[in-house]
Structure formats: structure tokens, C-alpha cells
């Protein structure tokens, strides 16, 4: 194996290690991340129990990924703003509010998509 390929594999390994470290940090420090991850897990369990279609699975996975990703980005933005503006600054607060708003919009959209997917399946059960 040539040295370029070995270096590439090592860089990928290090990248995954850093990514995993970030995920563990958000899990341990951010309550909303844990709530969204648990909600996503429950949606996956409901999808399996209700035997949703392939397209419905795709929509569920995409919405879960969007919410979790935005939650991680929001956490990152909050930390950067806390670092840049240790004392309260209205602009720092506004930036944090905007990032939190993005998570809220994605969460509401995921609830709507989940409703479109799960309600018809639940109606057929009763």
C-alpha cells in the first residue's frame, strides 16, 4: 500500500474520531439534543411497528437528521457566541435566538411530516 493511501486512511480515521467526540460532547452537555435524539429513536420504532413505506422511511430519516444536525449547529453557534461575547451582548443574543429558531422550525416541520406519515397508519389500526 502506498504512503498516500495510508495517509488518507489515517486522516479519515482521525476525522471520524473528532466527529464522534463532537457527538458525545453534545449528547453529554445538551438536553435538547438528547430529547431530539430520543424522539427520533421513537419515530424509528413507530415506523418499524407501523411498517411505513420506503418513501415514508426516507422522509422520517431526513427529518430526524435535519433536526439533530440543526441542534448540533445551534449548540456550536451558542458556544462560539459565548466565547466571542462572554458578557451579554444583544447581537450575540440575537444570533443565538436565530439559531434556536432554525431548530424550532425544523422541529415543527418534522412533527407535521410525522403526522402525515403516522396518522393514516394509526387510523387504519382503529
Query: Domain boundaries in the chain?
Result: 31-125
pLDDT in tens, 69-113: 999 999 999 999 999 999 999 999 999 999 999 999 999 999 999
On whether 97 is known to bind a ligand per the annotation, the reply is yes
On whether 30 is known to bind a ligand per the annotation, the reply is yes
Q: What is the DSSP string of 92-105?
A: HHHHHHHHHHHHHH
Nearest-angstrom CA–CA distance, 22 and 2: 31
Predicted confidence at residue 114, as pLDDT, reads 98
Nearest-angstrom CA–CA distance, 118 and 115: 5
* CATH class of segment(s) 31-125: mainly alpha
On whether 96 is known to bind a ligand per the annotation, the reply is yes
- By annotation, the residues acting in catalysis are 71
Nearest-angstrom CA–CA distance, 60 and 40: 8
Amino acid at each position: 500500500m502506498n504512503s498516500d493511501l495510508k495517509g488518507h486512511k489515517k486522516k479519515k480515521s482521525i476525522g471520524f474520531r473528532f466527529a464522534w467526540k463532537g457527538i458525545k460532547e453534545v449528547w453529554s452537555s445538551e438536553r435538547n439534543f438528547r430529547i431530539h435524539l430520543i424522539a427520533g429513536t421513537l419515530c424509528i420504532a413507530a415506523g418499524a411497528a407501523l411498517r411505513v413505506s420506503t418513501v415514508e422511511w426516507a422522509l422520517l430519516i431526513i427529518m430526524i437528521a435535519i433536526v439533530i444536525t440543526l441542534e448540533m449547529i445551534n449548540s456550536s453557534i451558542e458556544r462560539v457566541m459565548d466565547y466571542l461575547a462572554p458578557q451579554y451582548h444583544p447581537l450575540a443574543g440575537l444570533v443565538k435566538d436565530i439559531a434556536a429558531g432554525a431548530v424550532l422550525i425544523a422541529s415543527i416541520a418534522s412533527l407535521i411530516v410525522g403526522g402525515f406519515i403516522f396518522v393514516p397508519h394509526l387510523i387504519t389500526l382503529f
